[in-house]
Chains A and B, each alone.
Chain A
């Protein structure tokens, strides 16, 4: 559906002439004329209004009864009164009715001080109640889930949380149970409300009925301060507000509405993951390996050891940059490697090499879709990514587009996706056969020649591919949301070539509101690429003077060609494919210098120097959203006393090695970035402000270097043995150190599970709940089997990044065929 053009109309409210866009709800339009209408249930983010709370009643000339202004669209020439005697009487009555059953336990209630019911009772209520009968009573407080407590006595039945569950997150778990004054909110089956976005209902609740278990009783609005920043836990980079107390503790995280990024929602990992900042296990002192164990030392000693090790290695050092690094850190790391140590080996991608020409093509401004484009696109193709795990907030955006604007959704993934039920067409292809699927889709969009053969190669059904092509054809602007996994590994180059072909076929470059949107693995993957953290690309996507080794090649080159490893927010053992190779590499490397906030197994065992890293709430810097929005990460709380900013440590290392970087502050590093990345030209921190700026929308956007794309046909995939299953891996939202170290999220921590089709399960004699071993080439991973009817036969799916039994032990960047067998149950000694 195309975005509607707003048309201005004039109406009268409380004797004022006000101009408002036609069709806007009266309650919003009134605000344009500085008239405030009280409401509880209305929330434009939740879609169509329901008029449940009756608080927003107004008198409209020509209408005999009072109308709910939240559900009455404004019309030209309307005459509205919000202050007449009738309206006042109605408002008083509504407040009085709402307070009939609302316990007045404000001093105990967590919402006290920031409660719309308090404010509205004070502002629009009569100030007294005639009700003397006993109020309704429920057991309180009850845990709605381990994250949320519900106090059913306080609920005013405004419907917000239920609407969120039904219409936004579409998990359909929350419902109203019972009738009349017995009504209460609960899950339809009585199970805890566990969902990736459940925390949003706490923020939506206009009273203290839904409270966060983590924030319960921690502070009052006058004890705390808000600090705006962005969440750095996934590529969504949602805008957040940290609630801080005494400048030293983060007490909660709230969403900060930015239409261009998050639409005002936040996932539970972003909302509750702040607890890891204050976890006792966090590294808050520099550590040096001494006598086999990491011991806290002074900064002086840690810096001098690290500088000595790097200087000794010189060109034989390599850097792996994790997705959590800011642009500033990434820039300094590549500066340290390339200019100071003379080593070209720096990589921020877990697997494969991105062809420079392809990287530049993907960065073209006219080919990049912005996040809001998803909402108004004609069709959205979700390609080889599970949004709810990899970029959760986009999942909500896609659902919104489909539900409200009739976006045609096509899901093409290997693993069954949670978006399947909303999709017009669903295609399943064999894990690792993305390029064959794209070729088949291209054929189906074209003349259909060779479609059956290509679809067969992709392991997809030709009918499904044809249905997907039909949904995309003539749909209007198409947004392709594709996962970085597609471009990883050895066959990534072919897949990106096919993806660019598809973009050409669908004319994404020339169409307003169409484009590609990458879902990268790391939070700041795009920014790191643009500031030069790739082996073959210098800052600004220019060709690097000397091509370095990619992450996989670095692992293979230790210890012959590489002796020192710098790991910046990265533990290759948990995030990079081919765990075996990395274990060998870390073991043999002369020195492993890491920036980390938690000692993950790889660092605990192999790191020689560990610098404590700032947490996301202590950091100052910039990050680039996958759609090109450069956003600021801002410091909310003080750093622990022994933690230094990472840019400062990197600059100090440059200085100690003998070539000072010449930067004295974080903003100075950003200035250097702006000077070296041509398409960031003219950006200033002040301009980025609170909501960030998409560099594609600025003058410098035309400065992306161009180059001719490499040619290359489609290669044959390796044959699949009949007895083997093709292995697909996917990260889980609930894996990683943040979930491990946040006490409240720990119950969600992902365990290894093996997803099989029912057919394969029967063939192998495996049923749901069995412990199975997945084996390839001597490496094995154990997990609990789960048989799913929508997994296509011939595929098996594992979770990446789990604490133990990580799927990276089996992957190596190539499509892999694995054997699955029931594992003997390990006998635990009594």
Chain B
């Protein structure tokens, strides 16, 4: 890109020249201001959190690892395997393979259930569209954020993993915190 030729003069404003008595005075003033901060913080409580022994609490609407839900009374899965979450997912990280319930193998409340429900968490961008798309509130975004693992394939969460409660509960922030 070329700039048009111009006769304009650009003036640069500079601060006072360093050095001299005025300079020494300004340096001393800034040093004292810094020391004031240091002594003030030295007396307050530290803010460092000793992760992983201690965890940062998150807001209730934090979008962490997904959870699948069951009906509390019947124990049946809420998910009917409609695959709308997979359709809504912008990262394409959800895979659903549905199957038909039979009277002696009733998994969900409807005719259909998710035989395979996988979320590839290496791909997930935690946008929460799956939660919005779900017509049965079967999938919600949980609050767990500890999603590191040694292999990529371990981060493909299966239905059983998503239905299970996390091993460590992530602390939530209290009201108004």
Partner of A220, one of B87, B99, B100: B87
CB distance from B26 to the nearest CB of A (A): 66
CB distance from A573 to the nearest CB of B (A): 39
CB distance from A481 to the nearest CB of B (A): 42
Q: Report the Cα distance A112→B100, complex, angstroms.
A: 15
Q: Report the Cα distance A36→B98, complex, angstroms.
A: 34
Q: Report the Cα distance A459→B91, complex, angstroms.
A: 72
Partner of B100, one of A113, A140, A217, A222: A217
With A217-B98, A217-B100, A217-B112 in contact, do A107 and B80 touch (Cβ < 8 Å)? yes
Residues of A within 8 A of B99 (CB): 217
Chain A, residues 91-128, CB within 8 Å of chain B (1/0): the string is: 00000000000000111100011000000000000000
Interface range, B side: 10 to 19
Partner of A108, one of B87, B96, B97, B110: B110
Query: Across the interface, do A108 and B111 meet the contact criterion of CB distance under 8 Å?
Result: yes
- B86 proximal to A (CB < 8 A): yes
B79 nearest CB neighbor, chain A only: A107
With A107-B135, A107-B136, A217-B112 in contact, do A112 and B98 touch (Cβ < 8 Å)? no
- A136 proximal to B (CB < 8 A): no
- B82 proximal to A (CB < 8 A): yes
Q: Report the Cα distance A107→B80, complex, angstroms.
A: 7
Query: Across the interface, do A222 and B83 meet the contact criterion of CB distance under 8 Å?
Result: yes
Query: Across the interface, do A107 and B84 meet the contact criterion of CB distance under 8 Å?
Result: yes
Query: Across the interface, do B86 and A222 meet the contact criterion of CB distance under 8 Å?
Result: yes
- B128 proximal to A (CB < 8 A): no
Chain B, residues 93-123, CB within 8 Å of chain A (1/0): the string is: 0001111100000000011100000000000
- B81 proximal to A (CB < 8 A): yes
Partner of B112, one of A108, A113, A222, A223: A108
- A601 proximal to B (CB < 8 A): no
Q: Report the Cα distance A217→B79, complex, angstroms.
A: 13
With A108-B80, A108-B110, A108-B111 in contact, do A222 and B98 touch (Cβ < 8 Å)? no
Q: Report the Cα distance A140→B101, complex, angstroms.
A: 13
Q: Report the Cα distance A113→B82, complex, angstroms.
A: 10
Q: Report the Cα distance A247→B95, complex, angstroms.
A: 14
Q: Report the Cα distance A98→B81, complex, angstroms.
A: 26
For chain B residues 124-150, which have a beta carbon within 8 Å of chain A? 135-136
Q: Report the Cα distance A223→B87, complex, angstroms.
A: 8
For chain A residues 382-398, which have a beta carbon within 8 Å of chain B? none
Q: Report the Cα distance A213→B160, complex, angstroms.
A: 27
Query: Across the interface, do A107 and B82 meet the contact criterion of CB distance under 8 Å?
Result: yes
Max chain A CB contacts within 10 Å: which of B80, B98, B99? B98
CB distance from B122 to the nearest CB of A (A): 18
Residues of A within 8 A of B98 (CB): 217-219
CB distance from B88 to the nearest CB of A (A): 10
Chain B, residues 21-43, CB within 8 Å of chain A (1/0): the string is: 00000000000000000000000
Residues of B within 8 A of A223 (CB): 83, 86, 96
Residues of B within 8 A of A218 (CB): 97-98
Query: Across the interface, do B87 and A222 meet the contact criterion of CB distance under 8 Å?
Result: yes
- A216 proximal to B (CB < 8 A): yes
Query: Across the interface, do A105 and B110 meet the contact criterion of CB distance under 8 Å?
Result: yes
B82 nearest CB neighbor, chain A only: A107
Residues of B within 8 A of A658 (CB): none
Query: Across the interface, do B87 and A217 meet the contact criterion of CB distance under 8 Å?
Result: no
Query: Across the interface, do A216 and B86 meet the contact criterion of CB distance under 8 Å?
Result: no
Q: Report the Cα distance A107→B98, complex, angstroms.
A: 11
Chain A, residues 1-33, CB within 8 Å of chain B (1/0): the string is: 000000000000000000000000000000000
Query: Across the interface, do B136 and A216 meet the contact criterion of CB distance under 8 Å?
Result: no
Residues of A within 8 A of B136 (CB): 107
Query: Across the interface, do B86 and A108 meet the contact criterion of CB distance under 8 Å?
Result: no
Query: Across the interface, do A112 and B111 meet the contact criterion of CB distance under 8 Å?
Result: no
- A73 proximal to B (CB < 8 A): no
Chain A, residues 371-389, CB within 8 Å of chain B (1/0): the string is: 0000000000000000000
CB distance from B118 to the nearest CB of A (A): 12
Q: Report the Cα distance A370→B89, complex, angstroms.
A: 48
CB distance from B138 to the nearest CB of A (A): 10
B100 nearest CB neighbor, chain A only: A217
Residues of B within 8 A of A140 (CB): 111
Residues of B within 8 A of A108 (CB): 80, 82, 110-112
Q: Report the Cα distance A105→B110, complex, angstroms.
A: 9
Q: Can you pick out 7 interface pairs between chain A and chain B where the beta carbons lie within 8 Å of each other?
A: A105-B110, A107-B80, A107-B82, A217-B98, A219-B98, A220-B82, A220-B86
4 more CB-based (< 8 A) A-B contacts, given A106-B82, A108-B111: A217-B111, A219-B97, A220-B96, A222-B83
